[in-house]
């Protein structure tokens, strides 16, 4: 049987838990949450808080400062919450991450505690396959362990007032959770809540008639239908590149995200909430208002590039919008439907982007641009027997 898999933390993340409300310490590369033990500590909470966010190996051994009995170590055993990401073997769960300076592709995880026939569990997310995304999250234990967001309360204001560092936020928001019963977790918690929920069928209902009308009026400027079809196909192809660019450079603007609550909150609202709750049926497609905001500059771009012919520019734009419709529907179905054989591979690929490596695998409708730009995701974690 696989050993229990715990999350990994950076040194900065551990150091961020240095208050009476959230107090982490380390012994070697094992991370402990001792918040609940502060008031029960025989020497008083102040002694622990002096070491909050730090390694306590030496102070535990220091007989002059304070003699620690076996009971103290038993308390620590019950308080384990994860491991320090040092690039070396991570204690009890036995996973070794590959070269710390290389991009993680899901491979090169080693385990002495996992049977050679079992599937490797990713040390960051604790997941081994796409089915894990559907496992309901225990709200209370998740919040107690990670001190991130309480799924019982509206999420957006928690992000705004959370005081999270960028590194801690990015690590946590890319550890997928699943809301109970497949329902939607509260985002705003007020009258704005319905605006954040978009059923998949709204996308074709709104935009397919709009595309059809645009093509109809643009057709008047073409000599032949074949000519218009060619430009429509070009717009459709152009969308695949736009899709890749938006996903990689806007939705995953992670490395360039300001370490400030404004940037973090906007990131969460735009795409972070989807990675935090990837199986939420009503936050899988783009709300109409957001699409209009993003589509407006592309309308202007199309007419700037093809300034010589309004009909050509409009047809190219309509091809792009139709590509967007295909993208949003594909995205929904990859998460929630059983698909034909070709799509099954695409589904596995996209969901691996969620639970395996969010820094790779940006293509949703295809892997083409991932292959072109070298961001293709290796989806097969390797387990090596010792």
Q: Residues 287-340: pLDDT tens digits?
A: 998 899 989 999 998 999 899 999 999 999 999 999 999 999 999 999 998 878
| Average pLDDT of the residues in 137-155 | 92
pLDDT at 6: 73
pLDDT at 121: 72
| Average pLDDT of the residues in 62-75 | 67
Question: With 80 as the cut, is the pLDDT of residue 13 above it?
Answer: yes
Check the annotation: does 350 bind a ligand. yes
- Domains of the chain in start order, with CATH, are 8-152 (3.10.120.10), 193-373 (no CATH)
Q: Give the integer Cα–Cα distance in Å for 55 and 33.
A: 12
Check the annotation: does 252 bind a ligand. yes
Selected residue with higher pLDDT from 277 and 81: 277
Check the annotation: does 122 bind a ligand. no
Which residues contact residue 20 at a Cβ distance below 8 angstroms, ignoring those fewer than 6 apart? 35, 38, 45, 49
Q: Residues 37-50: pLDDT tens digits?
A: 888 787 788 888 98
CA dihedral over 203, 176, 277, 189, signed as positive or negative: negative
Upper half-sphere CA count for residue 296 (Cβ side, 13 Å): 5
Question: With 70 as the cut, is the pLDDT of residue 62 above it?
Answer: yes
Check the annotation: does 331 bind a ligand. yes
> Binning pLDDT at 50, 70 and 90, where does residue 120 land?
low
> Binning pLDDT at 50, 70 and 90, where does residue 66 land?
low
- Residue 356 · residue 348 · CB < 8 Å: no
Q: How far are the Cα atoms of 7, 122, 206, 248, 334 from residue 12, in angstroms, in the given order?
A: 15, 21, 46, 25, 35
Check the annotation: does 353 bind a ligand. yes
Lowest-pLDDT range, 14-28, 198-212, 314-328? 14-28
Check the annotation: does 178 bind a ligand. no
Check the annotation: does 260 bind a ligand. no
Check the annotation: does 274 bind a ligand. yes
């Amino acid at each position: 049987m696989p050993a229990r898999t715990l999350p990994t933390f950076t040194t900065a993340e551990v150091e961020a838990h240095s208050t009476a409300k959230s107090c982490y310490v380390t012994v070697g590369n094992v991370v402990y949450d001792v918040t609940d033990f502060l008031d029960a500590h025989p020497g008083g909470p102040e002694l622990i808080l002096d070491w909050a966010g730090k390694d306590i190996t030496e102070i535990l051994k220091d007989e002059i400062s304070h003699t620690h009995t076996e009971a103290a170590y038993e308390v620590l055993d019950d308080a384990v919450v994860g491991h320090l990401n040092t690039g070396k073997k991570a204690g009890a769960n036995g996973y070794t991450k590959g070269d710390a300076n290389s991009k993680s592709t899901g491979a090169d995880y080693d385990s002495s505690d996992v049977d050679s026939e079992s599937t490797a569990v990713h040390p960051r997310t604790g997941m081994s396959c796409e089915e894990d995304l559907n496992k309901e999250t225990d709200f209370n234990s998740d919040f107690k362990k990670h001190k991130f967001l309480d799924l019982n309360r509206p999420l957006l204001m928690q992000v705004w007032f959370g005081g999270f560092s960028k590194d801690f936020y990015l690590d946590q928001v890319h550890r997928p959770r699943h809301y109970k019963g497949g329902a939607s977790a509260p985002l705003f918690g007020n009258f704005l809540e319905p605006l954040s929920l978009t059923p998949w069928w709204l996308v074709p209902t709104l935009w397919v008639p709009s595309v059809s009308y645009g093509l109809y009026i643009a057709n008047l400027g073409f000599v032949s239908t074949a000519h218009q079809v060619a430009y429509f196909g070009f717009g459709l192809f152009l969308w695949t590149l736009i899709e890749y660019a938006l996903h990689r450079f806007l939705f995953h603007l992670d490395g360039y995200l300001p370490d400030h609550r404004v940037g973090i909150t906007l990131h969460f609202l735009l795409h972070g909430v989807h990675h935090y709750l990837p199986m939420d049926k009503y936050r899988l497609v783009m709300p109409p208002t957001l699409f209009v905001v993003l589509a407006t500059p592309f309308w202007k771009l199309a007419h700037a590039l093809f300034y010589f012919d309004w009909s050509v520019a409009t047809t190219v734009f309509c091809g792009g919008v139709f590509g967007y419709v295909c993208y949003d529907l594909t995205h929904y179905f990859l998460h929630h439907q059983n698909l034909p054989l070709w799509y099954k591979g695409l589904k596995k690929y996209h969901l691996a982007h969620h639970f395996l490596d969010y820094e790779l695998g940006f293509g949703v409708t295809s892997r083409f641009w991932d292959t072109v730009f070298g961001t293709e995701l290796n989806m097969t974690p390797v387990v090596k027997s010792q």
